[in-house]
């Protein structure tokens, strides 16, 4: 269980825009995602995935990015804020990238999201700000690719999520599986 972690911002867009405007709150809908968001649905909504197979389950109902990534990017000369990389929820105080598959994130009073995997950064990042895609990719000590552009989740229990809400982390039972791209 993580304490002191919180929601910094929430964002939603009803169209397939790269950035999502910040909102005063968002409503998560069990099994579907963010109410009013273009990616809401039980099956995939990301256009490239729909083109491959529109019947795939939507493992990307909610996109979360840690505000610490924004801090790191600002220090490297990028101007990136909450929602601008397409995330629905910006957190602070949670090591999102270090969570195992199946981790439950309790957001606000009742919403529960289950982490399914890592966001796989795409070329749209460079269209937003040149060099941003490379900045959200790294290599670990063993030379393995590290994707830093946030995590994806499905919604298990709905509810309203607002900036300032607590984020609580419930790890799944071991053995833990590391996150991979979804």
Query: Structural domains in the chain?
Result: 6-170 (2.40.33.20)
pLDDT at 3: 60
Helix residue spans in the chain (DSSP H): 47-52, 67-75, 124-128, 132-135
**Global confidence as pTM:** 0.95
pLDDT at 22: 98
Q: Mean pLDDT per 10-residue run, the chain (182 residues)?
A: 83 95 98 97 86 92 98 97 97 98 97 97 92 95 95 98 98 97 94
Give yes or no for a contact between 110 and 51, defined as CB atoms under 8 angstroms apart: no
pLDDT at 2: 47
Question: Could you tell me which residues are beta bridge partners of residue 178?
Answer: 100
Helix residue spans in 4-76 (DSSP H): 47-52, 67-75
Give yes or no for a contact between 98 and 26, defined as CB atoms under 8 angstroms apart: no
């Amino acid at each position: 269980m993580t304490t002191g972690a919180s929601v910094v911002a929430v964002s939603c867009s009803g169209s397939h825009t790269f950035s999502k405007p910040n909102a005063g709150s968002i409503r998560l809908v069990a099994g579907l995602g963010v109410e009013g968001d273009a990616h809401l649905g039980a099956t995939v909504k990301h256009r490239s995935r729909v083109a491959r197979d529109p019947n795939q389950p939507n493992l990307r109902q909610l996109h979360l990015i840690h505000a610490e990534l924004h801090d790191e990017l600002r220090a490297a000369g990028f101007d990136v804020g909450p929602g601008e990389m397409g995330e629905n929820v910006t957190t602070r105080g949670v090591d999102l990238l270090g969570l195992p598959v199946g981790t439950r994130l309790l957001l606000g009073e009742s919403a529960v999201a289950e982490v399914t995997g890592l966001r796989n950064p795409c070329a749209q990042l460079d269209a937003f700000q040149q060099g941003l895609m490379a900045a959200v990719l790294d290599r670990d000590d063993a030379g393995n690719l590290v994707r830093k552009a946030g995590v994806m989740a499905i919604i298990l229990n709905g509810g309203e999520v607002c900036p300032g809400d607590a984020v609580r982390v419930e790890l799944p039972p071991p053995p833990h599986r590391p996150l991979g791209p979804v």
